[in-house]
Structure 1
Amino acid sequence: MNITQEKTGNLNAVVKIKIAPADYTGKVEKAIKDQAKKAQLPGFRKGMVPAAHIKKMYGKSILVEEVNNLLNDTLSNYIAEQKLEILGQPLPKMDDEREFKWDNTDDFEFDYELGLAPAFDVNVSSKDKFTEYVVKADKETLESRIKNIRRSYGKMTNPEVSADDDVLYAELTQVGADGAAVEGGITSTATIRLDQVKDKKILKSLIGLKKDDEVTIDIQKALEDAAVISKALNISEDEAAELKANFKLHVKNVNRLEESDLNQEFFDKLFGEGVVTDEAGFKAKITEEVESMFKQDAERKLSNDIYEALLVKHNFELPDEFLRRWLKATNEKLTDEELAEGYDDFAKNLKWTLIENKIIKDNSIEIKYEDVVQAAKAKLDAQFRMYSPSPLPEDQLAQYAVQFLQDKENANRVFEEVKALKTFEQIKSIVTLEQKDIDYDKFMALVEKK
């Protein structure tokens, strides 16, 4: 067997593999004998089929399979031994002029294109400056969060007349321009949250309603969101998005979620017995929680700023033409138009992955299983806190995390998140971070501007 490499460009190479009969004959004969032992063919006892018979019937397919296995192993071992950093996978070069007899006498030659990763150094120092925003909770955000929490622990009542933020339990009937029900039209019983009604004029018409009152509304103007309309009318989102119709809304009941009292029982449910004892302590805790969520937003912005800056600073080349061919070869349904539209984003993410891997390698950063478990616990804890501020017991959270990571896709995703986190931590330990206080609304304007 002979294997050689030829550079065809700065980041491209072709590996040529030559295989003689002596390289594959023994493997083919062994595969034929193994199949003969397992074969069940008419006229032969199991395991007693002559190898010559198997060779006659399946010899060519066995030869093809063994040559392919030999090629794959040889190429993989060569890449590892030569310490070649490749992008994507090797692509076989097609040569219509080469014809093989596949009769165990061929001298085979196969060529594979490689896309090589560029060599570069990560250049990060204290001269690189970034703003680390400290986002402060504004009055409106705090009041909204407090209201939502109090309602989560409140009780349901049925007032006589509807008001802001109430929920109407109503029957919806599609009507025509004359106000009469459309024959074969949509009818549905639904709960309509008034805080989801976008049109101010329609919202005004829904306030002050009593049981059995009726009002006609334009469903698109009222709710706007196809998902909300779909749920209310029990139709698909596609149908909801296209629907242009008026509906008679017949009130069957008015529901109101009253806010919980700010008392010790409420505080203990939220934070544990005796942790908070008055309204001031309650507001302080909620402020801490809200600003903690803002901190995550600020960290995401800082990471994104670092990401963009380092990509500009490390503007190395990629084997673009090879990568385009590789993407097409490995994604049969990918159209030329989709490739053209998406390639720049793909290349950008690939460049960042190379920078990230370089930082991990140069700084001998380890990603341990314990790190992944802790990240999974934090992710799950955040999800549970969306429904209740009270934390889960540690043993229960740990059990959920282990179950979550048993899914390979979940485990890979969390591993990549931990890898990214450790990379950014390393970068932040080197660059200069300048802290700056900022109100939430101004911070969001800054994020949206980007």
Structure 2
Amino acid sequence: MNISQEKIDNLNSVVKINISPEDYQPKVEKAMKDQAKKAKIPGFRPGMVPVAHIKKMYGKSILVDEINHMLSDTLTKYLEEQKLEILGQPLPKHDDKPEFNWDFTDNFEFNYEVGLAPEFDIEFTSKDKLTQYEIKVDDETLASRIKNIRRSYGKMTNPDVSADDDVLYAELTQLSPDGSVFEDGISNTTSVRLDQIQDETVKASLIGLKKGDELVFDINKAFNNDAAKVAGLLKVEESEAADLKSNFKLTVKNVNRLEEGDLNEEFFDKLFGEGVVTTEEGFREKITEELETMMKQDAERKLQNDIYNYSLSKVDFQLPDEFLKRWLKATNEKLTEEELAGGYADFAKNLKWTLIENKLIKQANIDIKYDEVFAYAKMSLDQQFKMYSQQALSDEQLGQYTVQYLQNKENANKIFEEVKAVKVFDYVKSVVTLDKKEILFTDFNKLED
């Protein structure tokens, strides 16, 4: 057997594998003998089927299987021995179109395209500078959060006339172009939240309504053509909502208003536990503290994203783009040319980051231990459980869920990649200069990613 590499350029190679009868015949003969021992064919006793009969019936398929096994094993071993850092997987060169007789005397030659990882250097020092934001709660954000919390623990009332932020319980009926009710059209009784209306003119028309009032309005205009919200209100498919041209008649069934909860001891105890907060000032401090904790996570995500983009800007290397596009198509038959063209830039960007990650891990001798993967998965699951239940899981229960979660190979790989990214980000943060900067939350939200 002969295997060689023809380098096209720094990013593309062709690996050629030549297999002679001397290479494959012993393996094929052994495979046919094994088949003869196991075959159950009418007219022959078990284990007594002649090898010649097996060769006649199944010889070519056995030969094809053995050649494929040899190709796979040989190619994998060659890439490992040559220490080639490849991208994707090797692709058979279909343009060669070899013709084989498969008569057990053929000399086979197979050519594989290989995409090679680019060579590059990257180094971080204290001369590299990034901004680390410390987000502060502004009055507007604090007031909005307090309002939402108070309303969550408030009580529902039914005022006579609708006002800003009320909820209209109303029937929505589709109209024809002439203003009459559309026969067999869409009709649904639902709750319309005024704080979700995006068009100010429509919103103003919904203020001051009372039970029994009717109003004709453009529902898509009201929600700024947000098909998902319109579909949810009308209980129709999102595609149908996006195509709607009709006006709708809104008939008020009731006006609902969620009054804000009083800032008293009962409210504080319900929210934080008995005696934890006793004054309005303490309540505001507690909410500020919780907001700043959440904002630390926002600031960390921003810093990680800045490191990601800054790292990509520090290196200038190409990828074997045409090969990778062929590989993506070969591994996903449903991928259209339009999808490939639209998504390739992001794929290439993420692949470049993966190469940078791997380079930094090697340079900095970053080690990823199972204990770290387990702890990260456990923390992630704990956060997910808390989103859906106030009842905390015991440490033992959480540990059992984590073990089960990581037994799934896809989950384990996902967590491993997340831990790898965190450790690389932490390494970069420990090397570069981080300029700390305080910023209000409203201003932070205006920053570009």
TM-score, length basis structure 1: 0.90
How much does 1:384 deviate?
A: 5.4
Q: Could you tell me how far 1:286 is from its partner in structure 2? A: 1.5
Shift of 1:138: 1.0
Return the alpha-carbon distance in structure 2 between the equivalents of residues 160 and 338 of structure 1.
Answer: 53
Q: For residue 412 of structure 2, what is the amino acid of its counterpart?
A: A
- Aligned partner letter, 2:143: E
Aligned counterpart, 2:307: 306
Task: List gaps (5 residues or longer) in structure 2.
Answer: none
In structure 2, do the counterparts of structure 1 residues 95 and 223 end up closer, same or farther at CA, with 3 Å as the change threshold?
closer
- Mapping of 1:294-373 within 5 angstroms? 294-373=295-374
Counting only pairs closer than 5 Å after superposition, residues 347-426 of structure 1 correspond to structure 2 as 347-383=348-384, 392-395=392-395, 397-402=398-403, 404-426=405-427
Q: Distance in 2 between matches of 1:330 and 1:385?
A: 38
Report deviation, 1:386. Answer: 5.5
Say which is worse superposed, 314-323 or 437-446, in terms of deviation. Answer: 314-323
* Mapping 1:4-23, distance limit 5 Å: 4-23=4-23
**Structure 2 counterpart of 1:114:** 114
- 1:192 and 2:203 correspond: no
CA distance in structure 2 between the partners assigned to 1:338 and 1:372 by the alignment = 34
How far 1:316 sits from its partner (Å)?
A: 2.1
1:58-113: CA deviation from partner (whole Å, max 9, x where unpaired): 11011101100111011111111222111111122246474322122222222222
1:141 Cα deviation from its structure 2 partner: 1.0
User: CA 1:18/1:169 → structure 2, altered by over 3 Å: closer, same or farther?
Assistant: same
Q: Which piece of structure 1 moves more, 182-191 or 41-50?
A: 41-50
Aligned to 1:284: 285
Contact 1:115/1:319, CA 8 A, preserved across alignment: yes
- Partner deviation per Cα, 1:195-216 (whole Å, 9 max, x = no partner): 1112223223323333333222
Question: 1:127 corresponds to which letter in structure 2?
Answer: K
| Cα RMSD (Å) | 2.6
Distance 1:168 1:397, change over 3 A: farther
Q: State how far apart, in whole Å, the 1-side matches of 2:176 and 2:197 are.
A: 21
Amino acid at match of 1:294: M
What CA distance in whole angstroms lies between the structure 2 residues aligned with 1:385 and 1:164?
32
Deviation per CA, 1:335-381: give whole Å up to 9, x if none: 45544444333322221111101111222222233333433344445
What SS class does the counterpart of residue 148 from structure 1 fall into? helix
Partner of 1:155: 155
Cα deviation for residue 179 of structure 1 reads: 3.9
Question: Which residue of structure 1 aligns with residue 66 of structure 2?
Answer: 66
SS in 2 for 1:283: helix
| Contact map agreement 2:122 2:314 (CA 8 A) in 1 | no
Matching residue of 1:134: 134
Q: Give the TM-score normalised by structure 2.
A: 0.90
Answer yes or no: is the 8 Å Cα contact 1:21–1:107 preserved in 2.
yes
The 5 A counterparts of 1:70-85 are 70-85=70-85
Equivalent residue runs for 1:177-216 within 5 Å: 177-216=177-216
Distance 1:438 1:252 in 2: 46
The alpha-carbon deviation at position 277 of structure 1 amounts to 2.9
Bigger mean CA deviation after superposition, 1-10 or 226-235: 1-10
Q: 2:444 maps to which residue?
A: 443
One-letter amino acid of the structure 2 residue matched with residue 422 of structure 1: K
8 Å contact kept, 1:381–1:391: no
Contact in 1 for aligned 2:136/2:440 (Cα 8 Å): yes
Q: Which residue of 2 aligns with 1:238?
A: 239
Task: Identify the range of structure 1 (349-358 vs 438-447) with the bigger mean alpha-carbon deviation.
Answer: 438-447
In 2, Cα distance between the equivalents of 1:109 and 1:180? 75
**Is contact 2:156-2:256 (8 Å) kept?**
yes
Percent identity between matched residues is 68
- SS of 2:431's partner is coil
Distance 1:95 1:184 in 2: 58
How far is 1:422 from its partner?
Answer: 0.9
Alpha carbons of structure 1 residues 270 and 51: separation in structure 2 relative to 1, 3 Å = farther
- Alpha-carbon distance in 1 for matches of 2:182, 2:108: 74
Alignment partners' CA distance in 2, 1:145 and 1:385: 20
Describe the shift of the 1:265–1:35 C-alpha distance in structure 2 as closer, same or farther (beyond 3 A). Answer: farther
- Corresponding residue for 1:89? 89
Tell me: CA distance 1:249–1:104, structure 2 relative to 1, closer, same or farther (3 Å).
same
Is the contact made by 1:135 and 1:440 (CA closer than 8 Å) also made in structure 2?
yes
Q: Answer yes or no: is the 8 Å Cα contact 1:219–1:244 preserved in 2.
A: no
Amino acid at match of 1:357: N
Distance, in Å, in 2 between the alignment partners of 1:261 and 1:384 is 30
- The verdict on how the C-alpha distance between 1:36 and 1:328 changes in structure 2, with shifts beyond 3 A counting, is same
- Give how far 1:406 is off: 4.9
CA 1:341–1:197 in 2, change beyond 3 Å: closer, same or farther? closer
Partner of 1:266: 267
Q: Give the SS at the match of 1:446.
A: coil
Count of aligned positions:
447
Matches within 5 A, 1:13-52: 13-44=13-44, 48-52=48-52
Going from structure 1 to structure 2, the CA distance change for 1:406 and 1:205 (only over 3 Å counts) comes to farther
The CA distance in 1 between the partners of 2:155 and 2:35, in whole Å, is: 72
Q: 1:126 is matched by which residue type in structure 2?
A: S
Mean Cα displacement is larger for which, 356-365 or 370-379? 370-379
